[in-house]
Copies of this chain bind each other. A is one copy, B any other.
Amino acid sequence: MRISASQDTLHHALQNVMKAVSPHCLVPILSGIKLTAHAGGLSLSSSNTHMMIQYELSLEDGKLEILSTGSIVVPAAYLSEIVRKSPSEQVTLEVTEHLILTIRAGSSVYRLCGMDPLDFPGMPEANPSLRFAIPSPLLHKVIKQVVFAVSASEHRPVLTGVSCQLDKMGRFRFLATDGIRFASRTTELSVNARAGFTPITIPGKNLNELAKLLLGEQGTTEVALGESWAIFKTGNVMVYSALIEGTYPSVENFIPASPTTEVLVHAEDLIQAIERVTLLADKSHLLRFHTTGKRITLTARTAEIGDVSEELIMEHRTGADIDISFNGKYMRDILRSADSPRTTLKFTGRLSPIHIEPYNDAQTAYILTPIRTQ
């Protein structure tokens, strides 16, 4: 193979595929990027044990020239640093000897030892049971709204993922929970195969990487959900995510039916107040929240260090006063992810889950389990 490409185009492509490279993988070839020069352009592929990324650089925008076709796998970290530090606007990549890639950029000549492209894992077939298209900014927002709530512990692997389900109304729904907090986002999507779709669970860390790739994208993402893989195609890039096996817990009765207190707050005011008060919270980020009329008082303390109290005024309240304790950091994360200027907190007594809902947005719901205190 022999190709010539502009440095910025190649650098951008490499930045995208680097997200699926395993730098310290026991399988050496997975520390590499597969380059395939074909008549239509250059494919760059990376793979780890749970995610693959393929980036297509096409000839169309004139920033790439294919001088001869072929394929090689080269160490990802070295290739990406070499291109990043290239002094030249134009970089040529050429397989000059068996499994040797020669890179020329300015007055630098690098020769990288490559690996056999036949040993690189192939991209999986999706056999999708469901295909749909979603605006990329919406997919980005949906991921950001739920993915923070996945479990960080591998104790129950299925909870490290986001569950994708169809609800009774046939609408697509994304769920995440770590047992303490729960996030749910329902979307209106034109789904062409809603019958027979079994819920799937996508690893949270893959969705986080996908969200980074989607940031700032304005187009549409094509999604194909199969039995073992979910595939996302947006612009030049395709992301293949393995799915997590196992049955996701039922969440039908998570949301308390009849709250006894509802409090409407300016989300940013409450976020800022929580951040100040959790400065003096203990390791479990325990924060006490109690109301007196329209006044909210937040308090926290750390033994031997000190305590803090802060007051803010809510916008509206119905029901009785409430006195409840919860993890302040978790509540702040929920309010941030809700991404709404005003938010309603619904309480059903001091020991029942708190239901947090962006104002005028019944598509998004969060639950936070309170902390039982003396």
Contacts and interface: CB of A to CB of B under 8 A. Distances in A.
Nearest to A112: B306
B87 A272 contact: yes
Minimum-distance CB pairs A-B, first 5: A112-B306, A108-B310, A110-B308, A107-B311, A111-B306
A273 B86 CA distance: 10
A309 B104 CA distance: 10
Interface in A146-197: none
B312 A85 contact: no
A108 B308 contact: yes
A295 to B, nearest CB: 10
A85 B113 CA distance: 51
B85 A276 contact: yes
A209 interface: no
Given A108-B310, A310-B107, A276 B87 contact: yes
Contacts of A312: 107
A351 B272 CA distance: 62
B87 A305 contact: no
Contacts of A310: 107-109
Interface stretch (A75-83, A214-222, A328-336, A358-366): A75-83
Nearest to A302: B78
B107 A305 contact: no
Contacts of A277: 108
Contacts of A113: 304-306
A279 B276 CA distance: 44
A308 B104 CA distance: 10
A89 interface: no
A111 B78 contact: no
Nearest to A275: B85
Interface string A292-316: 0000000000001111111110000
Contact of A305 (B78, B108, B109, B275): B78
A109 B82 CA distance: 53
A79 to B, nearest CB: 10
A42 interface: no
B272 A78 contact: no
21 contacts: A78-B280, A78-B306, A81-B279, A82-B279, A85-B276, A87-B272, A87-B276, A107-B273, A107-B310, A107-B311, A108-B273, A109-B309, A109-B310, A110-B280, A110-B308, A111-B306, A111-B308, A112-B305, A112-B306, A113-B304, A113-B306
